[in-house]
Amino acid sequence: MMLTRRALPPLALSAAMLARTARAAPPAIRVGVLRFGTVSWELEVIRRHGLDEAAGIAVAPLELAAPQAAQVALQAGQVDTIVVDWLWVARQRGAGADWSFVPFSNAVGALIAPAGSPVADLPGLAGRRLGIAGTPLDKSWLILRAYAKQLYGLALDSAAACSFGPPPLLAEQMRAGRLDALLTFWSFAAKAEAAGARRILTVEQAVAGLGIAGGVPYIGYAFSQRWAEANPVALDGFLAASRQARAILATSNTEWDRLKPLTGAADDGELARLRDWYRAGLPRHWNAGDREAALRLYAVLAEIGGRELVGPVAAVPEGTFWPVTWEG
């Protein structure tokens, strides 16, 4: 009888410990983030409001130094998802990878000019000094070139004196009067506007001018299809928490006040501009029409960017867009 009494408690204890462990370890999703990137804003809202816990998951952020480092981390299996350009996802998938994409933002950037610049529209760029954030293959630059060619018959790459570089460096050059206009990412455009720069044209307006319907995403969460199929609870929970966080950021100015240190905004004016640009870029829906618009934009970019941009992939590979839909 003594042996029986001594044998039972360890078994009961083991069962209790297993139950507690199961409750304490929800499915985890490792998210690669840049320290001051917009993804970090969303994850902070998820953390503050316990949206991951409510969705039955655990979000584990991994801070990375640069977009290229994020891509390497995803490819090496160090993270489960990152936010990246869907053109990268399509090209990688066309080369045999199994990445899939869910929209994160429809905001991309804008053409802006200093307050005293003579540039007021695209034709006004002829003979002027134009800075372009990124490389000659940046999608915003390709879209602007296509728009200028279609509407004005203007070959921007030869009509303007173009210089390419990182957004902070170009922003400083514009402040110093060395650029007449600047095509830059939306967050830098927002800060420049707060300092008095003029908005000439957003990339989204250029896309609409090409006859492509709104709703096209530009960046989104990329992840392995195999991982997603093996971890549906983690993925679905994360996407639900992500959308809830964006709903909070879409409506709560108080939430933005809390986020101010993470945004890098120098003052309340910059914060308000960042908030308004972020909200304008929220994907309100993702449906068959939006996917069709994305396919049309890909065709435009593939034509002007060529193989150097898209590689041998003439069309968006099947599976590039994860099969999820939402409205409103």
Tell which of 150, 184, 209 closes a domain: 209
Give the whole-angstrom CA distance, residue 128 versus residue 110: 17
Regarding whether 239 and 97 lie in a shared domain, the answer is yes
Say whether pLDDT at 22 is over 60. Answer: no
Regarding whether 137 and 202 lie in a shared domain, the answer is yes
Regarding whether 191 and 139 lie in a shared domain, the answer is yes
Contact criterion met (CB below 8 Å) for 313 and 94: yes
Regarding whether 302 and 242 lie in a shared domain, the answer is yes
Q: Which domain holds residue 289?
A: 27-106+217-310
Say whether pLDDT at 299 is over 60. Answer: yes
Output the average pLDDT for the chain.
92
Say whether pLDDT at 27 is over 70. Answer: yes
Measure Cα distances from 285 to 202, 243, 291 in Å: 20, 11, 11
Three-class SS state of 181: strand
Name every residue whose Cβ is closer than 8 Å to that of residue 29 and which is 6 or more positions away in sequence. 57, 58, 59, 60, 80, 81, 231, 234, 235, 237, 238
Q: Which long-range contacts (CB under 8 A, 24 or more apart) does 5-11 make?
A: none
Tell which of 158, 181, 209 closes a domain: 209
| Structure confidence at residue 312 (pLDDT) | 85
| Structure confidence at residue 100 (pLDDT) | 98
pLDDT tens-digit readout, 222-253: 999 999 999 999 999 999 999 999 999 999 99
| Structure confidence at residue 2 (pLDDT) | 37
Among 53, 57, 60, 102, residue whose Cα is nearest residue 78: 60
Confidence at 35, pLDDT banded by 50, 70, 90: confident
Give how far the C-alpha of residue 10 lies from the chain's centroid of Cα atoms, to the nearest Å: 51
| Structure confidence at residue 10 (pLDDT) | 47
Q: For 63, phi and psi rounded to 5 degrees? A: -75, 130
Lowest mean pLDDT segment, chosen from 12-16, 134-138, 243-247 = 12-16
| Structure confidence at residue 142 (pLDDT) | 96
Regarding whether 279 and 238 lie in a shared domain, the answer is yes
pLDDT tens-digit readout, 76-118: 999 999 999 999 999 999 999 999 999 999 999 999 999 999 9
Confidence at 7, pLDDT banded by 50, 70, 90: very low
Regarding whether 228 and 92 lie in a shared domain, the answer is yes
Contact criterion met (CB below 8 Å) for 60 and 29: yes
Q: What is the mean pLDDT of residues 262-270?
A: 95
| Structure confidence at residue 3 (pLDDT) | 34
Burial state string for 173-203 with b = 16 or more CB within 10 A and e = fewer than 16: bbeeeebbbbbbbbbbbbbbbbbebbebbbb
Answering whether pTM is above 0.85, one says yes
Q: What angle, 0 to 180 degrees and rounded to 10, lies between the N-to-C axes of helices 232-251 and 38-49?
A: 100
Sign, CA torsion 221/226/229/232: negative
Q: What is the mean pLDDT of residues 121-127?
A: 97
Give the whole-angstrom CA distance, residue 264 versus residue 129: 28
Among 281, 269, 300, residue whose Cα is nearest residue 216: 281
Q: What is the mean pLDDT of residues 62-78?
A: 95
Tell which of 140, 175, 209 closes a domain: 209
> What whole-number percentage of the chain has pLDDT above 90?
86
Regarding whether 62 and 154 lie in a shared domain, the answer is no
Name every residue whose Cβ is closer than 8 Å to that of residue 288 and which is 6 or more positions away in sequence. 325
Contact criterion met (CB below 8 Å) for 44 and 242: no
Say whether pLDDT at 167 is over 50. Answer: yes
Contact criterion met (CB below 8 Å) for 89 and 320: yes
Cβ neighbours around 317 below 10 Å, total? 18
| Structure confidence at residue 5 (pLDDT) | 36
How many folded domains does the chain comprise?
A: 2
Confidence at 276, pLDDT banded by 50, 70, 90: very high
Q: What is the mean pLDDT of residues 141-161?
A: 97
Regarding whether 259 and 190 lie in a shared domain, the answer is no
Residue with tokens 């804008």: 110
Question: 11 in a domain, yes or no?
Answer: no
Confidence at 328, pLDDT banded by 50, 70, 90: low
Question: 88 in a domain, yes or no?
Answer: yes
- CATH number for 86: 3.40.190.10
